[in-house]
Amino acid sequence: MIKGVIFDLDGTLYRGKKVIDGAAETLERLRNSGVKVLFLTNAATKSRENVAQKLTNMGLQANKEEVYSSSYFLARYISSKHKGKKVFVVGEQGILDEFREAKVECVEERADIVVVGLDRKFTYEKLAHALAELRDGAILIASNKDPTFPTENSFMPGAGSIVAAIETASGKEARVVGKPNCYPLELIKEDYGLKNEETVVVGDRLDTDIKFANCCGIKSVLVLSGVNKKSDIKKDIPDYILSSVAEFNLPLYP
């Protein structure tokens, strides 16, 4: 029996600024049936609180505790695995907000860790600064390696493009805390007591959402409203395929 449904956001519940038709009704239907609805995004530009507010403003009811963003993964990972370490951030306000709440210290020099997320003001100077910190011994941690993200009509470069630049310059490989790494599921299971067999992921990307589910041992649903189509399916194979989240319902059938 499925007790928790984890939804990706961009490409799954909305695309750019446009809500996917039927998304709000699907969330309401699941909640009314007693299923725990959670939101899981590799985006690190906003804090959990801001993501929840954005969803609510779009007509998709959400609260902070239901949101798992990679800005939050970074904050929890560093505060638990690297407690007391100083961090140089290549990223946006969402990471800084979550780090402030988790009491992770951000610095401009002599950092122990270089953290990288999507940064829409990324410059050559930031690349050079990150390189200098890494050459001085800092370790590299990334929110995700998504190469792109969908907008209403096209795609934009994702955090992975920035991570790749820093990896190339430094020769260091980033530790990724977002999907498809299983760290987000560890947090969700810890917070809500869900078991693998009680949980399903719904997303639009094979290389993150579906790979995440497969690597972590939970069921997956690919929706065709975002990045990937049926013809893209090769190695990261979903358990179910739907045209959009509007078709999602429980119980699931093969």
In 3D space, the residue among 146, 120, 144 whose CA is nearest the CA of residue 204 turns out to be: 146
**What per-residue string of b and e applies to 212-223 under the rule 16 or more CB within 10 Å gives b?**
bbbebebbbbbb
| Half-sphere exposure of residue 12: CA atoms within 13 angstroms, side-chain side | 28
For 110, counting Cβ atoms within 10 Å of its Cβ (0-12 exposed, 13-18 middle, 19+ buried), the class is: exposed
User: CA-to-CA distance for 17 and 254, rounded, in angstroms?
Assistant: 32
Catalytic residue among 8, 112, 204, 207: 8
Assess whether 10 carries a catalytic annotation: yes
Residue 97 designated active-site: no
Q: Which residue among the candidates 10, 146, 209, 236 is catalytic per the annotation?
A: 10
Q: Is the peptide bond before 251 cis (omega within 30 degrees of 0)?
A: yes
The alpha carbon torsion through 133, 182, 184, 101 (nearest 10 deg) reads -30
Q: Known catalytic residues?
A: 8, 10
